Amino acid sequence: MLMSLLNKISAVELSDTGRVRDHNEDAIGSNREAGLYVLADGMGGYNAGEVASSIAVKTVKDLVSEAVEREDRAATESDTGLMRQTIVLRDAISRANKIIHQTAQSQASCEGMGTTIVACLFYDNRLSIAHVGDSRLYRVRDGRLEQITMDHSLLQELVDRGFYSREEAERATNRNYVTRALGVEAAVQVDLAEIDVRPDDLFLLCSDGLCDMVDDEEIHLTISTFNANLDTIGQQLIQLSNDHGGKDNISVILTRVLEAFPAKVGLLSKLKQVLGF
């Protein structure tokens, strides 16, 4: 029986259409008991972006939830050195990519659709992260905001090559051209990361509807100011984005680690530790 994370991690999920768009192409979802959180930002023709993001979130949520129930999620490592839950995330996103791509190829109304995605899975005092595109994951630890994911965007590539500084990039107007997304090709490269987690860490997943309208300094100030209440932080971030123009849909998932959540060690593992295996 897997340990529930419901009392270990608090979370808030919010999404808003914004001030310009007439419908919301973002999608968010979670399995809070398993510690899974997913956010996707769709793109494409009329309503097709909404289809792509919904497929992505549902597929990842369903497949990861099934895998979590099926596996003991023991801390055994794969050949790539990544923990098993990170591989589960990657495989679920790859499967979502195939479904979106096939749907776009077979249905005229969905032609050209795609979506970004960022997903994370808490387990054993660690966080597995997988993302494609420019939806982001931030961490606030000891009062410091850090962007954990790096955008798959033309602008980020220009920053990496030295054409822009980080500060100049935040003021740039050509921020929305992504270089990687689900559904565009039959296969997709998913960026993976694994980081340690401490009590009181706060994580923010967001679509570019937030970070294109609100700079990191304002995000950090908002989190610091309303730190006691995740729902208030989320509402204030969405309000800020709308106050700055609300040119895109805005979605945020906020999670706070309430206490440590080490994995339970099974009897066989305990015996191996005692016997020195």
Residue 3: inside a domain: no
pLDDT the model gives residue 226: 98
d(CA 38, CA 40): 7
d(CA 199, CA 222): 20
Number of domains in the chain: 1
pLDDT the model gives residue 139: 98
pLDDT the model gives residue 3: 73
* pLDDT tens-digit readout, 101-130: 999 999 999 999 999 999 999 999 999 999
Q: Which residue has the tokens 């296969």?
A: 187
Residue 156: inside a domain: no
pLDDT the model gives residue 80: 41
Angle (deg, nearest 10), helices 216-225 and 230-243 = 140
> 33 with 64: CB under 8 angstroms?
no
> DSSP 3-state assignment of 235?
helix
pLDDT the model gives residue 173: 55
Residue 154: inside a domain: no
Environment class of 244 (CB within 10 Å of its CB; exposed 0-12, middle 13-18, buried 19+): middle
Task: Give the closest residue to 53 by CA, choosing from 21, 96, 87, 98.
Answer: 96
> DSSP 3-state assignment of 95?
helix
Mean pLDDT per block of 10 residues along the chain (277 residues) reads 85 97 96 97 85 98 92 47 80 98 94 96 96 97 97 67 58 69 96 97 98 95 97 98 97 98 65 51
End-to-end CA distance of the chain: 24
Angle (deg, nearest 10), helices 84-106 and 48-70 = 150
The domain containing residue 82 runs over which residues? Answer: 9-149+180-275
- Neighbouring C-beta atoms of residue 269, cutoff 10 Å: 15
pLDDT the model gives residue 264: 74
* pLDDT tens-digit readout, 72-92: 544 444 434 446 889 999 999
Segment holding 108, helix H or strand E: none
Residue 104: inside a domain: yes
Residue 162: inside a domain: no
Residue 164: inside a domain: no
Determine if residue 65 is left, alpha or beta; phi over 0 gives left, psi from -120 to 50 gives alpha, anything else beta: alpha
Write the DSSP symbol of residue 170.
H
d(CA 236, CA 21): 20
Please tell me the pTM assigned to this model. Answer: 0.88
Residue 59: inside a domain: yes
> DSSP 3-state assignment of 152?
coil
State the maximum Cα–Cα separation within the chain, in Å, rounded to a whole number. 64
Residues 6+ apart with CB under 8 A from 83: 75, 77, 123, 126, 128, 194
141-144 long-range Cβ contacts below 8 angstroms, 24+ apart: 141/198, 141/200, 141/201, 141/202, 143/224
How far is CA 66 from each of CA 17, 97, 263, rounded to the nearest angstrom? 31, 18, 18
Residue 135: inside a domain: yes
- Domain containing residue 93: CATH number: 3.60.40.10
pLDDT the model gives residue 57: 98
pLDDT the model gives residue 83: 67
